[in-house]
Amino acid sequence: MNWAFELLGLAPDADVASVKRAYARLLRTTRPDEDPEAFQRLHAAYKMVLAHVNTRPAATAHPIATQAALAQNSEAVQVQSPSPQPMPAQANIVTMAVSAINFDALTNEIIRAATEASNGQVLSNWLHAREEFWSIQVKQQSGHRVLQRLFQQPKTISADCMDALLHFFDLDHVLSGIEPVALKNLRERQTTLWELLPSNHRVLAQRIGKQYGKYPELGILQKNIALLQSPFSWLRACVVAASVGRVRGIAHLVQALLGHGNFQQLPPSIDRQHALFWFRAATRGPMTWPRFALRSFQMGLAAFGVALAVTAIYFLRLFFPVDASAPGRIDLSATTKAFAISWSATFGFWLLFAGSVWFDQWQGLPESVPSRWPWLRRLAIPMACISCLVVQETGAVPYVEWLIALCFIFAIRRSRRRGTIKNDFFARISDSKPGFIWVGVMVLSAFSRMHDLSDFPFIPLLAALTLGISIADLWRHRAYLHPKLARS
Amino acid sequence: MIVGIDLGTTHSLIGYYGEQGPQLFRNALGDYLTPSVVSVDEAGHILVGAAARDRLISHPNSSVAAFKRWMGTAREVQLGQRSFRPEELSALVLRSLLADAEAALGEKVQEAVISVPAYFSDAQRKATRAAGELAGIKVERLINEPTAAALAYGLQERREGSRFLVFDLGGGTFDVSVLEMFEGVVEVHASAGDNYLGGEDFLDVLETACVGDLKLRTDDFSPVERGLLRRRLELAKRSLSQQPEVSVTGLIGKHDIQWRVDQDRFLHLAEPLLQRMRMPLERALRDARLRPEQLDEIVLVGGASRMPLVSRLIARMFGKLPLRHVSPDEAIALGACVAAGLKSRNAKLEEVILTDVCPYTLGVEIGQRNTQGQVQNGLFSPIIERNSVVPISRESSYWPMTERQARLSLKIYQGENPMVENNIKLGELEIALNPTLSIAANEVVVRFTYDINGVLQVEATPKANGLRHELLLQQNPGMLSEEEIHARLAALSELKIHPRAKQENLALLARAERLFEEYLSARQVLQQWIGHFRQVLESQDERLIQEHRKTFSDALDSLETQL
């Protein structure tokens, strides 16, 4: 502050007129087109001093007096015209005192108009026709109030109307002081609210279709919305899961409603727990409990279908026997057995698959994610590999080599998921095509070894590689193992 | 000698700062206003000014007007054998103006100050400079039109310590500036505007309404007929400023036009255009941090501000009636002359200093991470805010988005929208970062420097290595390069331009030809007169020609008033 007064050569109690005089005097020696840098300094000092002088508490008596004088002036219309032709004085001049306006009522009215307008043009016309907004101050104040109110409580306003509103009040430019991300978020939330009105479901369907490349049927979409608006129940979820494609449709709906926001920002009519369940159940990515439960239910149904088919074939064999001389007899226990075996085999495959997906995720978590048994997570693969080797040596369990090959694949995946540098050695071999072929050859060779097709000791080699990869991975994350290692 | 030039959409003027203050030069026809129209005649000669404007009616395919609106674009227009860029057309107008100035001063003019709309973009300003170079002069400075008008007005009135708003509605552009004058300092607080809003748009509105009311389409008219219709409507628009109601009647081509329009209807038709004017006015006032009642005066300049609906708009918005400049058409040119005087350090103007602002916000594209860690790209981060006083230099720091980022591409934009996709991209700068450093250490300092002529310079310096990168502004299709300017300058000097002495005869002939197209009933008489005048011209007897010119022009005057 002091530097500015010094630059202008003024005492700190200077008044506005002397500040301007000093600035004008100094400007003659530092012209903007001759010495830009000195001019910038001078101008910055001038603006700072002027702002300071204008807001100084000692000067308060003066501005109030001038404001009163100005207010009086604004009521009387000055007619000055140097041109010979008289000015059209019939113009209806609005000199509405800002204090006379009830801004709360006006704000409510604007918001109501915005929610009721069928499109942006209608709203824009309505706003333009209002007399109040010819006063620049009223317009400015009410614009900010409307936006403040909307930030507190989003309303059902379409994107089109929101744009018209922002444009009219000139709030959509970069210097308006409104956080653009927050504004975008607000617009998104309001659009969602608006789309959930029954008459606008078609627009929502179009948006989903554009976003995901698959236009949902309007009836199904409405059913899905109704589902999300009711509280969650497992029974209903199972019924929905039984119909083909509906889970995906609901997931798209939830994602479209969420936009870039979080679950707290979902429209209040939507049940959040319910939306969260479907979001977790159908989005790609890590295996979640809702997804496991739903998929298990679906798989159970599918397995039931498979079992039915197997049983049907069994019956067909009975009625149309290959060997006509030995007519079959309906054996109830054998039928039940065939049904049970085929059902559990199909379902078992699903459980195995889900289990391996879960295991893959669990062991691939980065070290920074806390775990109850961190050492179990670190050593699960090497331990499994070693125990498989031991079991193989004893020869007690057949096909244990398969598990070693599996361990090898898991080890590679783990090391890749946990790598922070994306172009290290492991990433390169597991990303590139030669890497895939290489891993494939290793695993296939292991299988051929199992079936005694080759003499090369693939299984011990695979086990050694698995252990090596695991140790390398541990070494890479040594900082987490012990503080002493972190320093090296 | 530095001259001041107002290169307008419909009219252009030239002047200088002389002994008695700013003075304008008359053209060969004795007018201050030279229409900004270029035409090529059958022999390939170039015509500029009133003659070209008359030929706009009679030869619409070889004449062109309102090309200021295309400045900064690569649009070309075919005239006769040759196609012209907007810079070249402007250069032809400038040459004609300079010939007038040189005839009056008796010396060669080398430098000029040209006025441009305050809201002209970087490309449009560069195009105006190129036009000056093509006309063979050095453009010493580009001055914003409202600022020029304010200079002319302020120095004339000599009011101390006043704040006022200049409302400049020209033929094709609309500008608003808020200024303050004190102790010989003219300080611009804020400028705003619309580059595609002017008197021509009001004419378009009238034309659409007229053609619609008559249950016709614009395609039903041939170019000549359309020119005639627009001319009638232009006259009607002008008389609407004085009369409550006008009627447009007459036979145009095979269409019998009978149309009446009153002021209320015109106000209703122009409503959308008036609404577009509200925003720049509000924005300029807000950026200047002033309340409407803190303005001492509102000054109207520009020909189109004569319309009563403009003063009504001002009265509604500000609660007070505006002041009309004594000569709204000349105010800007007079201001440009003052600026020329300032530039040449005229002793009488020594005490006046002008500070201007940059009308646009300039900044770069950034990404932002929200609270959920999602990245929002395409946000506009302003570095120089609009309506900062120029020259200005501002710097701002930016960091890479991710760890181990090797490059940072700095995209420079101009505009007001918070999302860059709605702004104008000016250029791009690639900066190499050191990926081994942390995000915080990879700070890049970006400095924008905007000079008094509206030229932007961008510098980016990564703090880690201190290597300075400077922006080479991307050549967009609307801009001419240095070599192109030289090539076109050579090509332009080969064009045949009618000597200034012949202008009067040509203007008279063009006017007669325009009347021939306009009035079917007088065609035979006009044809005779034109033929006769041509014969007289061929005799090359200067005394005879002068005599004939007088009688011919009087005859045309009386014919036009009769019809």
The pLDDT of residue A59 is 43
Q: Output the average pLDDT for chain A.
A: 79
Q: Which two tokens stand for residue B245?
A: 């109601």
- Average pLDDT score over residue span B468-485: 70
The pLDDT of residue A279 is 84
- Average pLDDT score over residue span A402-410: 83
CA distance B409 to A303: 55
pLDDT tens digits, residue range B331-360?
A: 999 999 999 988 887 777 767 888 888 888
Rg (CA), chain A: 38
B372 contact residues in A (CB cutoff 8 A): 262
Q: How many CB atoms lie within 10 A of CB A245?
A: 10
Cβ of B316 and A74 within 8 Å? no
The pLDDT of residue A77 is 33
B563 pLDDT more than 50: yes
Residue A126: burial class (beta carbons within 10 Å; 0-12, 13-18, 19+):
middle
Residue of B nearest to A180 (CA): B418
- Partners of residue A21 on adjacent β-strands: none
Q: Which two tokens stand for residue B545?
A: 């020609």
Cβ of B353 and A31 within 8 Å? yes
B472 pLDDT more than 80: no
Cβ of B417 and A28 within 8 Å? no
Choose among B319, B361, B417: nearest Cβ to A74: B319
B324 contact residues in A (CB cutoff 8 A): 81-83, 87
pLDDT band at residue B385 using 50, 70 and 90 as cut-offs: very high
Rg (CA), chain B: 26
Cβ of A78 and B321 within 8 Å? yes
Closest-CA distance of chain B to residue A46, Å: 12
Q: Before B391, cis peptide (omega within 30)?
A: yes
DSSP run (H or E) holding B470 = strand B469-470
- Does residue B461 sit in helix, strand or coil? strand
B311 contact residues in A (CB cutoff 8 A): 87-88, 91
Say which residues have a Cβ less than 8 Å from residue B360's Cβ, sequence separation at least 6.
B121, B386, B414, B415, B416
- Average pLDDT score over residue span B463-487: 74
Best-predicted range by mean pLDDT (A62-71, A411-420, B223-232): B223-232
Cβ of A73 and B353 within 8 Å? no
- Does residue A325 sit in helix, strand or coil? coil
Q: Which one has a higher pLDDT value, B257 or A82?
A: B257
pLDDT band at residue A9 using 50, 70 and 90 as cut-offs: confident
Cβ of A136 and B286 within 8 Å? yes
Q: How many CB atoms lie within 10 A of CB B74?
A: 12
Separate counts of helices (H) and strands (E) for chain B: 13, 28
- Does residue A124 sit in helix, strand or coil? helix
- Partners of residue B460 on adjacent β-strands: B446, B469
Cβ of A39 and B315 within 8 Å? no
- Average pLDDT score over residue span B311-324: 85
Residue of A nearest to B299 (CA): A81
**Which amino acid would we find at residue A154?**
P
Choose among B242, B354, B382: nearest Cβ to A175: B382
Q: Output the average pLDDT for chain B.
A: 86
Question: What ranges do the domains of chain B cover?
Answer: 362-453, 500-562
pLDDT band at residue B466 using 50, 70 and 90 as cut-offs: confident
- Does residue B143 sit in helix, strand or coil? strand
Cβ of B319 and A77 within 8 Å? yes
Cβ of A88 and B185 within 8 Å? no
Q: How many CB atoms lie within 10 A of CB A18?
A: 14
A184 contact residues in B (CB cutoff 8 A): 376
Kindly provide the b/e burial profile for residues B14-53, where b requires at least 16 CB atoms within 10 angstroms of the residue's own CB: bbbbeeebbebbebbbeebbbbbbbbbbeeeebbbbbbbb
The pLDDT of residue A62 is 43
Cβ of A175 and B386 within 8 Å? yes
Closest-CA distance of chain B to residue A244, Å: 32
Cβ of A27 and B308 within 8 Å? no
CA distance A92 to A106: 22
Residue of A nearest to B386 (CA): A175
pLDDT band at residue A64 using 50, 70 and 90 as cut-offs: very low
Closest-CA distance of chain B to residue A484, Å: 24
Sign of the alpha-carbon dihedral angle for A50, A52, A58, A63: positive
**Which amino acid would we find at residue B419?**
M
Cβ of A74 and B320 within 8 Å? yes
pLDDT band at residue A99 using 50, 70 and 90 as cut-offs: low
CA distance A425 to A438: 14
Task: List the Cα angle B83/B86/B90 in 5-degree steps.
Answer: 110
B275 contact residues in A (CB cutoff 8 A): 128
Taking alpha carbons only, the member of B194, B191, B141, B145 closest to residue B165 is B191
The pLDDT of residue A330 is 65
Cβ atoms of B161 and B181 closer than 8 Å: yes
Task: List the Cα angle B108/B114/B120 in 5-degree steps.
Answer: 155
- Average pLDDT score over residue span A70-89: 37
Cβ atoms of B63 and B56 closer than 8 Å: yes
Please provide the DSSP assignment of B50-108 as one string.
HHHHHHHHH-GGGEEE-GGGGTTS---EEETTEEE-HHHHHHHHHHHHHHHHHHHHSS-
Residue of A nearest to B352 (CA): A28
CA distance B48 to B95: 9
> How many percent of chain B have pLDDT more than 90?
28
pLDDT tens digits, residue range A311-326?
A: 888 888 777 766 666 5
A207 pLDDT more than 80: yes
Residue B113 phi, psi dihedral angles, 5° rounding: -110, 125
Residue A403: burial class (beta carbons within 10 Å; 0-12, 13-18, 19+):
middle
The pLDDT of residue A237 is 86
Taking alpha carbons only, the member of B331, B344, B333 closest to residue B97 is B333
CA distance B15 to B25: 5
Question: What ranges do the domains of chain A cover?
Answer: 2-57, 98-195, 200-284, 294-357, 365-487
The CATH class that applies to domain B362-453 reads mainly beta
pLDDT tens digits, residue range B41-55?
A: 888 888 899 989 988
Best mutation site among A16, A33, A128 for testing chain B: the one with the most B CBs within 10 Å?
A: A33
B417 contact residues in A (CB cutoff 8 A): 172-174
Residue of A nearest to B281 (CA): A136
**Which amino acid would we find at residue A113?**
A
DSSP run (H or E) holding A235 = helix A234-242
A75 pLDDT more than 90: no
Q: How far is CA B208 from CA B233, B240, B370, in A?
A: 11, 17, 49
Cβ atoms of B325 and B300 closer than 8 Å: yes
Cβ of B355 and A170 within 8 Å? no
- Does residue B504 sit in helix, strand or coil? helix
The pLDDT of residue A85 is 39
CA distance A178 to A144: 10
The pLDDT of residue A424 is 57
B242 contact residues in A (CB cutoff 8 A): 85
The pLDDT of residue B204 is 93
- Average pLDDT score over residue span B87-111: 92
CA distance B11 to B170: 9
Task: List the Cα angle B82/B84/B86 in 5-degree steps.
Answer: 170
CA distance A22 to A10: 8
Q: Does domain A2-57 have CATH number 3.30.365.10?
A: no
Q: Which one has a higher pLDDT value, B78 or B477?
A: B78
pLDDT band at residue B515 using 50, 70 and 90 as cut-offs: confident
Closest-CA distance of chain A to residue B272, Å: 10
Please provide the DSSP assignment of A240-293 as one string.
HHHSTTHHHHHHHHHHHHHTTS-GGGS-TTS-HHHHHHHHHHHSSSS--HHHHH
Choose among B315, B354, B363: nearest Cβ to A91: B315
The pLDDT of residue A65 is 39
Closest-CA distance of chain A to residue B428, Å: 20
Closest-CA distance of chain B to residue A247, Å: 25
Would you give the DSSP letter of residue B42? T
pLDDT tens digits, residue range B389-444?
A: 988 999 999 998 887 788 888 999 988 889 899 888 888 888 888 878 888 888 99
Residue A468 phi, psi dihedral angles, 5° rounding: -60, -45
- Partners of residue B424 on adjacent β-strands: B414
B143 contact residues in A (CB cutoff 8 A): none
| Count of residues in chain A | 488
Kindly provide the b/e burial profile for residues B145-166, where b requires at least 16 CB atoms within 10 angstroms of the residue's own CB: bbbbbbbbbbbbeeeeeebbbb
A41 pLDDT more than 80: yes
Cβ of B316 and A93 within 8 Å? yes
CA distance A358 to A378: 15
Closest-CA distance of chain A to residue B319, Å: 5
B353 contact residues in A (CB cutoff 8 A): 24, 27-28, 31-32
CA distance B376 to B357: 32
The pLDDT of residue A107 is 92
Prediction pTM value: 0.77
Task: List the Cα angle A393/A399/A402 in 5-degree steps.
Answer: 100
Reading phi first (left if > 0) and then psi (alpha if -120 to 50, else beta), residue B404 is in left
Taking alpha carbons only, the member of A92, A1, A84 closest to residue A49 is A1
pLDDT tens digits, residue range A423-475?
A: 556 565 555 666 677 777 777 776 766 666 666 677 788 889 899 988 988 88
Cβ of A81 and B286 within 8 Å? no
Lowest mean pLDDT among A199-208, A327-336, A385-394: A327-336
B550 pLDDT more than 90: no
**Which amino acid would we find at residue A451?**
H
Taking alpha carbons only, the member of A293, A195, A193 closest to residue A237 is A293
How many CB pairs below 8 A link A and B? Answer: 144
pLDDT band at residue A93 using 50, 70 and 90 as cut-offs: very low
Cβ of A23 and B326 within 8 Å? no
Cβ atoms of B64 and B89 closer than 8 Å: yes
ipTM over 0.85: no
